[in-house]
Amino acid sequence: MKRYGIILVGILQTTAASAQVLDQGTLSIRQDGREIGREQFVIRPSRRGEEPGSTISTTARFGPADSGGRDFTAILRRNPGGGIMAFQYDLPATEATRRVLAATSDGRLTIRLLGTQAESARQWRIPAATVLLADSVYALFAAVAEWATPGGAVVTAIYPRTGQRIELTATRRESATNGGHHVDMDGGIRGTMRIDDRGHLQELMLPDAGVRVVRRPR
């Protein structure tokens, strides 16, 4: 298990070191109209010599900016078709689970939970249109937007920390005002995303959780 973690972390750190950037920005995380945190993310292509794909790296901070904040960091590596390759999710020291690792092989997803007192693992067979999400980071929803189609695409969302599996339908509709489009999510997750004409996430609304995530201007 330790060897698995070392290999996976090495792969993710090497990929995240790529200099070329596909998208980056800061998200304001708001609940019931009040900002409760900010999330900084970057999306990069894989480095030369590695299997093609891209990596989403993101860190969300909740609480005071100077001290006492709680950080949640996620790294998701995907292949060119949007399929999951590897995932790492680091949680604050106050959490019993400190790190979540995931990787796919032959259509099966293996998730390992690493904590201060115990470690555990689980494995599932997953469909191609699968995304990994986490409760405290929101840039990962960009992967849902990529699967969306005008007719509605069925997407499986997995929260690796809890093992929750959710089926949702992601429907793309063009915007008549800003040249981008919207993605409507129905089913296990309800919400809407606003995507600009470059394919970048600008806004995410999750009404059931009372959460609105807005991209801050540079």
Note whether 153 and 170 are within 8 A (CB).
yes
Mean pLDDT, rounded, for 120-130: 93
User: Tokens 């990529």, residue?
Assistant: 146
Structure tokens at 83: 């399929």
Judged against a pLDDT cut of 60, whether residue 155 lies above it is answered with yes
Mean predicted confidence (pLDDT) in 136-155: 96
pLDDT digits (tens, 9 = 90+) for 176-195: 777 899 999 999 999 999 99
Query: pLDDT tens digit string along 1-33?
Result: 444 454 455 545 444 444 589 999 999 999 988
Strand 153-159 versus strand 130-132 pairing type: parallel
Which band of pLDDT confidence, cut at 50, 70 and 90, is reported for residue 175?
Answer: confident
Checking if the pLDDT of 154 tops 90, the result is: yes
- Do the beta carbons of residue 46 and residue 18 sit within 8 Å? yes
CA 198 to chain centre: 19
Q: What is the mean pLDDT of residues 116-134?
A: 91
User: What is d(CA 76, CA 197) in angstroms, rounded to the nearest whole number?
Assistant: 23
> Is residue 71 over pLDDT 50?
yes
For residue 2, the model assigns a pLDDT of 47
Task: Please name the residue ranges forming H helices in the chain.
Answer: 2-16, 141-147
Task: Report d(CA 68, CA 73) in Å as an integer.
Answer: 16
Per-residue pLDDT band at 159 (split at 50, 70, 90): very high
What the block records as the tokens of 142 is 């960009």
**Overall average pLDDT of the 111-115 stretch:** 93
How do residues 77-105 score in pLDDT, each as one tens digit?
999 999 999 999 999 988 888 999 999 99
- pLDDT score for 7: 46
Give yes or no for residue 173 having a pLDDT over 80. yes
